[in-house]
């Protein structure tokens, strides 16, 4: 269906570029991980959060259309936390806040549950990292 490609040079304190050069970002190790946190640079956790939020929003839109529902906006705010697990290994956890104004709370929760079942990121992370989702229907 689709292939995305990116190359990283220099790891967490280097650069990442996509094969079409549309994505061309400087990376930096955050100060919380002992890095220098260069201004204007991002990190893998932010990139993962952005990708997951966008993909999940796409899955929400798919299920809205399939159920013939319309939300005023699809807003997905993803947070990726890195922490040490019980074995002292770096581990990720995701918290997502999905806001679907224009729907009832029940409609929004049903759509988000369907999206969580079908989103490729959700399927890839299932059983591997904790993903907590909060659903709201607050007007923008």
Confidence label for 36 from pLDDT (cuts 50, 70 and 90)? confident
Phi-psi region at 68: left, alpha or beta (left = phi > 0; alpha = psi -120 to 50): left
For 1-42, the fitting CATH number among 3.40.50.150, 1.20.58.390, 3.50.50.60, 2.20.25.10 is 2.20.25.10
Strands (E), the chain: 6-9, 15-18, 24-26, 75-84, 90-99, 130-136
pLDDT in tens, 100-109: 999 999 999 9
pLDDT in tens, 69-78: 999 999 999 9
Superfamily in which the 44-136 domain is placed by CATH: K homology (KH) domain (3.30.300.20)
Tell me the domain boundaries of the chain. 1-42, 44-136
pLDDT of residue 6: 96
């Amino acid at each position: 269906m689709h292939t995305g490609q990116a190359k990283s040079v220099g790891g967490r304190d280097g650069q990442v570029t996509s094969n079409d050069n549309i994505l061309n970002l400087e990376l930096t190790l955050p100060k919380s991980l002992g890095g220098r946190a260069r201004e204007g640079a991002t990190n893998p956790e932010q990139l993962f959060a952005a990708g997951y939020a966008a993909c999940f929003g796409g899955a929400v839109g798919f299920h809205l259309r399939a159920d013939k529902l319309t939300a005023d906006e699809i807003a997905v705010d993803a947070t990726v936390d890195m922490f040490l697990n019980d074995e002292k290994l770096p581990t990720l956890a995701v918290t997502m806040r999905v806001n679907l104004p224009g729907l009832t709370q029940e409609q929004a929760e049903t759509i988000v549950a369907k999206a969580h079942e079908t989103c490729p990121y959700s399927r890839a992370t299932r059983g591997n990292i904790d993903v907590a989702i909060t659903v709201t229907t607050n007007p923008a």
